[in-house]
Amino acid sequence: MADKLILAGKEFDSRLIIGTGKYASGEALTASAKASGAQIATMAIKRVDSTNHTDEIVKPLTDLGITLMPNTSGAKTAKEAVFAAKLAREALGTDWVKVEIHPDVRYLLPDPVQTLKACEELVKDGFKVFPYIQADPVLARLLEEIGCSAVMPLGSPIGSAQGLKTESMLEIIIANAHVPVIVDAGIGAPSDCAKALEMGASAVMVNTAIAASADVVKMSEAFKYAQLAGRLAYEAGLAAKSSSAVATSPMEAFLKEAMK
Amino acid sequence: MEIIFNQSKKENIKEKTTISAFLKDHDLLKEGVAVALNGEIVRKADFEKTVLKDNDSLDVFNMVCGG
């Protein structure tokens, strides 16, 4: 069994966090959530749209015992993000919030200045803050210092499935963080999830790689095992890499003696 | 009496309509909903006692799918 994940004082068995976007239906989302074993899910907050009926998502997920992490997606400034966080707190009765501020619509890269500003205010207001950021070790340290509950550096742009393009920066963040590091965005395959956890990330967040899969239940299961494999490997300790071969069997000596 | 609902829709409502009553009429009195009145967030505990006035701007939000 792997160690438990602890986020904002709460314990979890799974190190996979799921996003709830892009699923074909509420039923697909619920089935996927169940199959993945995820215990934390993110969601957004928007003005109600009476012309577009959307499936109920809160109760189906809380019925599975899932902890909800509302995000501030759609916010372009710290002010909007703080407002969205406070609305979500009222809507869900949770003080958890994923601060997500990406005014750039092409790459959806997070705005570091607005993110830091929003996080400062929300931490002071008693929120448990999980900021989505570029894999910037300096920003990660600043966010930790102001009291964020974790940092969520990206692997590659949201929905791009490019994997851990920011690997070298993630290594620096992980090596120096005293809060959990949750690799978020761009995870394209279960192997990316395992890799991030092998590197020492505390958790991984995945949305598109599961939701856009041809078989969301099967892919959810793949990620369930990937997060477990990655964490167990990290706890066991990976073998050191070598630039040359290191034999694992004494074959050469045996053969020479037999041929005399 | 008229209010502005979600920034764009004008709605006629009766005098002394509370936020609770408005939400109930629109099938929005449920889990995962938050409200702002004239730009200020209203606590759920205050929905029953907050009465809407003429020209109020009421924004109702709900949780939706997102990553």
Cross-chain residue pair B44–A46, CB shorter than 8 Å:
no
pLDDT at residue A108, rounded to an integer: 93
Q: Does B57 touch chain A (CB under 8 A)?
A: no
Out of A50-54, A193-197, A241-245, give the one with best mean pLDDT. A193-197
Element (H, E) at B34: strand B33-37
Alpha-carbon distance values, A237 to A174, A197, A226, B34 (Å) = 16, 12, 16, 46
pLDDT at A159: 92
A89: left (phi over 0), alpha (psi -120 to 50) or beta: alpha
Residues A109-149 pLDDT 10s: 999 999 999 999 999 999 999 999 999 999 999 999 999 99
pLDDT of residue A247: 80
Size of interface A-B (CB pairs under 8 A): 86
Q: What integer is the mean pLDDT of A72-96?
A: 97
* Phi, psi (degrees; rounded to nearest 5) at B40: -110, 135
Interface test with B, best of A17, A54, A80, A90 (most B CBs within 10 A): A90
Partner-chain residue, chosen from A59, A73, A83, that has the shortest CB–CB distance to B66: A73
Asked if residues A125 and A105 have their Cβ atoms less than 8 Å apart, the reply is no
| Residue stretches of chain B with pLDDT short of 70 | none
Query: Is the pLDDT at A50 greater than 90, yes or no?
Result: no
A23 touches B at CB < 8 Å: yes
Chain A nearest CA to B16, separation (Å): 23
Helix axes A137-145, A167-176, angle to 10 degrees: 30
Contact B67 A42 (CB under 8 A): yes
DSSP 8-class letter at B46: G
ipTM tops the 0.90 cut: yes
Q: How confident is the model at residue A32 (pLDDT cuts 50, 70, 90)?
A: very high
Q: Contact A51/B26 with Cβ under 8 angstroms?
A: no
- List the single best residue of A22, A23, A48 to mutate versus B (max B Cβ within 10 A): A48
> Is A224's pLDDT higher than 70?
yes
Which domains are assigned to chain B?
A: 2-62 (3.10.20.30)
pLDDT at A102 over 80: yes
Q: Does B7 touch chain A (CB under 8 A)?
A: yes
pLDDT tens-digit map of A161-212: 999 999 999 999 999 999 999 999 999 999 999 999 999 999 999 999 999 9
pLDDT value at residue A54: 63
CB contact under 8 A, B41 and A90: yes
Q: Does B61 touch chain A (CB under 8 A)?
A: yes
Better-predicted residue by pLDDT, A184 or A254: A184
Q: What pLDDT score does A130 carry? A: 98
| Residue A254: predicted pLDDT | 61
- Nearest beta carbon to residue B6 from set A48, A71, A92: A48
pLDDT at A127: 98
- The strand ranges marked E within A94-220 are 96-99, 128-133, 152-153, 182-184, 203-206
Give the distance from residue B34's alpha carbon to the nearest chain A alpha carbon, in angstroms. 5
Q: What was the pLDDT predicted at A53?
A: 62
Binding-site residue positions of A for 1-deoxy-D-xylulose 5-phosphate: 159, 185-186, 207-208
Quote the pLDDT of residue A240: 85
Helix, strand or coil, per DSSP, at residue A149: coil
Residue A189 exposed, middle or buried by CB count within 10 Å (0-12, 13-18, 19+): middle
